[in-house]
Structure 1
Amino acid sequence: MRRQHVAACFLGFACAAGHAACDTGLAERMHTKLHPRRALDHERAVCEPWRGFPGRYIVVLPMPEAGGTPDTTRFDLDVLVVQQADNGNTERAKIVSRLLDEGALTEDAIRIAEIRVDTARYTLAPDARAFGLRVLYQGSSRTSPYARETLTLYLPQGQKLAKVLDQLEMTLEHGEWDTNCTGVFEATRGALSVMRATSNGLADLTLRRTRSGSRATLQGDECITQERPATFNATVLHYDGTIYRIPKRAARD
């Protein structure tokens, strides 16, 4: 058995990543209304219903900044919570909350593969429910596969959206191999949960991470994989009144 298939699908979420499309045209209408003179990255634009809020949608408009270099592109994100009219007429959709997040994302040798909405129940207080944006990054090197996923949380506060968690790394998968068999692979995967304890009015968050790895070697005509024992750790994130601070140890793990 050769290693090609294993390496191709080692980056699990990259294999399963889908195309985020705004089938209703709501995102395009919002872009035309708000930014008629700016380009929209249609491939990565997002428009999804916010589960639990009838008629309410989360719209994300990624717009490349002017003046970038050939190797690097920075994106502004206009993040909107939009309420559809009762009759479904998107022309009458109303912006409920909004944040123009300037320079939010950077794409270089590691490309942005997908932006998607995470509408898990991030209930941070009885009257405060956040939603997440997950950004999937993917490398292009066959010999050094790389993929990464980050999570940012946005909390509606009246007409404004507050970014209360900024690009927390949830998944990191990378490795090096000879495209035949021999190689080393590592993966770190995280899960975020809401706690009962609070800090400065919002619930504490627990980040649990699992780290695993493997080494493949060619023994005769057979490719042998040895799995490394998984390790686990947990970190509590506290809200400081503005944002959830990510401890340096959690940022490194």
Structure 2
Amino acid sequence: MRRYPFVAGLLATFCIAGHAACDTGLAERMHAKLHPQRQLDHERAVCEPWRGLPGRFIVVLPLPRPSSRPDASEFDLDVLVVQQADNGNTDRAKIVSRLFEEAALTEDAVRISAIKVDTARYVLAPDARAFGLRILHQGSSRDHPYSNETLTLYLPQGQRLVKVLDKFETVMELGAWDTSCEGNFETVHSSLALARSTSNGLADLNVRETRSESRSILQGEECVTQDRPAKFKSTMLRYNGKSYRASGNVAAD
């Protein structure tokens, strides 16, 4: 019984140390080390402890770049897995795995509202643990509202980070209305769950999609929203040796 308080205290220490490393500028130090001549988008840069892996961090560096379109902004994206030194000195943190992508993100009328690290337990195989990067977008049109969220899964393979799932849409909300009442709206939510089956060494992914539609109309002086029956669909994503791809519908109604 005496071991449990010790374990809880140890986990709390790891958590505090992890957030302390990020709070003291680990992402900024990685930026200064790797891209001293480049601007960093501080608002969207991310540093997050990799939950369950003491001393390991996920750092995301969005780097603005010249765009080929005058009405758009582009960003290179440097995604890092960083191991903190045993003595806690973040100045001696070591890059374990990395993926640098040119022009990975584009922003126009639909802006990137946030970049978030997802450290859920994506254990795709006994020796293959991935993490996710969620990108949130927000449209600027009032009469045609739009927002979405995409999920990309990164799998460390030695010094390389491999994208095994690229920009899978988990949330999508859109509509068209007169900005007063009348209009049509649609929402799609998709969730991932690990399946027991595997393909090419990695677990299959079950996708559960829920699609909801509604219509708002003016009845007299009252704006009334009519919800249509939700639609559900299940899909299996299988690893083809390079990335996850849909293999067809499992069920729909």
TM bin, normalised by shorter chain, reads: 0.7 to 0.9
Which residue does the alignment assign to 1:29?
29
Matched to 1:128, the amino acid is A
**1:102: how far off?**
2.1
* Cα shift readout 1:131-179 (whole Å, capped 9, x = no counterpart): 0000001001111110011010000111111111110111110001112
Which residue does the alignment assign to 1:72?
72
Does structure 1 residue 159 correspond to structure 2 residue 159? Answer: yes
Which residue does the alignment assign to 2:146?
146
Give the TM-score, by structure 1 length. 0.87
**1:248: how far off?**
8.6
The 2-side partners of 1:191 and 1:60 are apart by: 23
CA contact (8 A) 2:181 2:218 kept: yes
Matched to 2:166, the amino acid is D
Which residue does the alignment assign to 1:90?
90
Which residue does the alignment assign to 2:99?
99
Matched to 2:220, the amino acid is G
**Cα distance 1:24–1:137, how it changes in 2: closer, same or farther (>3 A)?**
same
The 1-side partners of 2:148 and 2:44 are apart by: 16
Count of residues in correspondence between the two structures? 229
The 1-side partners of 2:38 and 2:159 are apart by: 23
Q: How does 1:1-253 map to 2 (within 5 A)?
A: 23-246=23-246
Task: Please provide the CA RMSD for this pair.
Answer: 1.6
Matched to 2:62, the amino acid is P
Secondary structure of 1:36 counterpart: coil
User: Identical aligned pairs, as a percentage?
Assistant: 69
Matched to 2:133, the amino acid is L
Matched to 1:131, the amino acid is F
Further displaced range: 67-76 or 24-33? 67-76
Give the TM-score, by structure 2 length. 0.87
Unaligned residue ranges in structure 2 (runs of 5+): 1-21
Task: Answer with 1 or 2: which has the greater Rg.
Answer: 2
The 2-side partners of 1:65 and 1:34 are apart by: 15
Further displaced range: 67-76 or 177-186? 67-76
**1:67: how far off?**
4.2
Q: Which of structures 1 and 2 has the larger relative contact order (alpha carbons within 8 angstroms, sep 6+)?
A: 1
* Cα shift readout 1:73-120 (whole Å, capped 9, x = no counterpart): 221110000111233221011111111122221111111111100111
Secondary structure of 2:245 counterpart: coil
**1:249: how far off?**
7.9
The 1-side partners of 2:89 and 2:68 are apart by: 37
**1:24: how far off?**
2.8
Secondary structure of 2:244 counterpart: coil
